[in-house]
């Protein structure tokens, strides 16, 4: 690869890094488990309890427009079972519509042939 091509590639990489940094500056990074729980996930001999994991997910949902927590039932211990839906803010705004579509795909009885392809 010639010097001109290498300089061009370096310029593109520098521009890409700058654009990525600009996007990151607009949206703060999500908190790490250490920030919320006080320890690193995967640390030897340390396991997050259900309550700690739920607390971390709640903090993520509070601080991000890209995370929504939904209760999906009760555990055998009587705790609320949570699912974290992670997507774009636009998709989360129309989550009910998307869930209805998923339900149609999961149980297509009553649909005309080819209706899912529309």
Is 60 a residue whose pLDDT tops 60? yes
For the stretch 93-106, pLDDT in tens is 999 999 998 888 88
Task: Give the pLDDT mean for 71-92.
Answer: 95
| Higher per-residue pLDDT: 111 or 44 | 44
48 CB contacts (<8 Å, ≥6 apart)?
Answer: 33, 37, 39, 41, 56
For the stretch 5-29, pLDDT in tens is 343 333 333 333 433 443 455 778 8
Question: Pairing state of beta strands 67-74 and 80-86?
Answer: antiparallel
pLDDT for the residue numbered 106: 85
pLDDT for the residue numbered 18: 37
Burial (Cβ within 10 Å: 0-12, 13-18, ≥19) of residue 92: middle
95 CB contacts (<8 Å, ≥6 apart)?
Answer: 68, 85, 87
Phi, psi (rounded to 5 degrees) for 71: -75, 135
């Amino acid at each position: 690869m010639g010097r001109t091509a290498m300089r061009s590639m370096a310029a593109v990489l520098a521009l890409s890094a700058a654009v990525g940094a600009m996007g990151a500056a607009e949206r703060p990074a999500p908190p790490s488990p250490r920030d919320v729980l006080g320890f690193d996930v995967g640390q030897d001999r340390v396991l997050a309890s259900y309550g700690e994991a739920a607390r971390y997910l709640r903090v993520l949902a509070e601080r991000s427009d890209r995370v929504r927590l939904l209760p999906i039932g009760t555990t055998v211990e009587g705790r609320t079972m949570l699912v974290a839906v992670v997507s774009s803010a636009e998709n989360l705004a129309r989550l009910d519509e998307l869930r209805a579509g998923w339900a149609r795909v999961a149980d297509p009885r009553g649909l005309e042939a080819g209706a899912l392809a529309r």
